[in-house]
Structure 1
Amino acid sequence: MDLPLHPLIVHLAVVLVPLATILLGLAVFIPRLRDQIGALAAVLALLGIGAFVLAHRSGTELAGLVGVPHEHMRWADPALAVTIVFGSLTAIWYILWLLLRRPSRRSQSGLRTATTTLGLLALASGIAACVFTVLLGHSGGEAVWSNVPTAPSLWRSL
């Protein structure tokens, strides 16, 4: 149907990163939920990396066709970088959590401390990824919709 991939794939990134961050926050702060949603948070965070990479590549290609939205592209690289950090830390946190669950490792306070610290760092990077996602998305929306007349201006023209 000749639609560019970029506007379609960005919505996947916009959903995956905040959802993974929320789930990770719940898993980090509510221990009884870790088994149920820890893996889901890690998988969604990793899928968020994939969605951001695809959005970044497709956006670069689209910019070559329609022009470069400079403000939008200014946020693209930092958003991609922080999303990669978020997804990686979340996956490593979940792997450490799985190791900590083993009965032979439960008494290792160093592993417990590392898991807690990494969970908090992953959550902080997830919050940062959400902030960058909002800034990136807002600038992209402005690039697309800034020349479209608003409803009041449409009524005035009638």
Structure 2
Amino acid sequence: MDSFNGLPLHPLVVHFVVVLIPLSALFAVLGVVWPAARRKLGIITPIVAAVALAFTPIATSAGESLEKKTPPSAVLDRHTELGDQMIYWAAPLFVFAFLWWAFTSEWFRESAWFNDRVPALTHGRAQVAIASTLGVVLVIVAVGAAIWVYRIGDAGARSVWSG
């Protein structure tokens, strides 16, 4: 399926990615640097990142379908190349958002399942070290994902408006 109601599917679906990747990146950074935001956002951040991840291959596939119907250009090739790489940012964004949530949530610290299996990871220095490392990596991935969405969108807009 490459169209919806006669319109190309790519420009319709890509807006989910364009909104949800930066939104999940913003939520992730806020959760890492602001404890009150972390408590309020909770599981919402990894859920938003998961939805963004789910829409990424759909947008890419729809874009490849649209590309076949569009005159070739160097700018379009650049947009396609960057778009194909978005999954390499969306997947880690989800994974690290989920791991960050798990290691910093009350649910994790109080979970009998985790405490019985890996008690050294759920308390003390190990938990702080893991959460800190995950937080740093999550911020890096979140910023990178947001920048990547911008780069893809810029190349896409140039391919449409520059011809």
Deviations 1:94-143 (A, max 9, x none): 12223554287764220221112112211210100111100100101111
1:123 maps to what in 2? 139
Q: Is this contact kept in 2: 1:24–1:41, CA < 8 A?
A: yes
> Bigger shift: 28-37 or 104-113?
104-113
TM-score (norm 2): 0.81
CA change 1:51–1:6 in 2 (3 A) is: same
1:49-128 equivalence runs, <5 A: 49-68=53-72, 69-98=76-105, 100-102=108-110, 107-128=123-144
Identity of aligned residues (%): 24
Q: Aligned match of 2:47 in 37, 43, 50?
A: 43
User: Which amino acid counterpart does residue 93 of structure 1 have in structure 2?
Assistant: W
Distance in 1 of aligned mates of 2:109 and 2:30: 18
User: 2 CA distance for matches of 1:82 and 1:52?
Assistant: 10
Q: Which residue identity is paired with 2:157? A: G
Structure 2 unaligned regions, length at least 5: none
3-state SS, counterpart of residue 14 of structure 2: helix
**CA–CA distance in 1 between the matches of 2:102 and 2:61?**
29
For the pair 1:14 / 2:18, whether they are aligned, the reply is yes
- Structural RMSD (CA): 1.9
What TM-score do you get using the length of structure 1 for normalisation? 0.83
> Which residue identity does 1:92 align to in structure 2?
L
Question: Match for residue 157 of structure 2?
Answer: 141
Aligned length: 147
The alignment partner of 1:66 has SS state of coil
Structure 1 unaligned spans of 5+: 148-158
Q: Give yes or no for contact 2:29–2:138 (8 Å, CA) kept in 1.
A: no
- Amino acid in the other structure paired with 1:58: A
AA aligned to 1:85 is: P
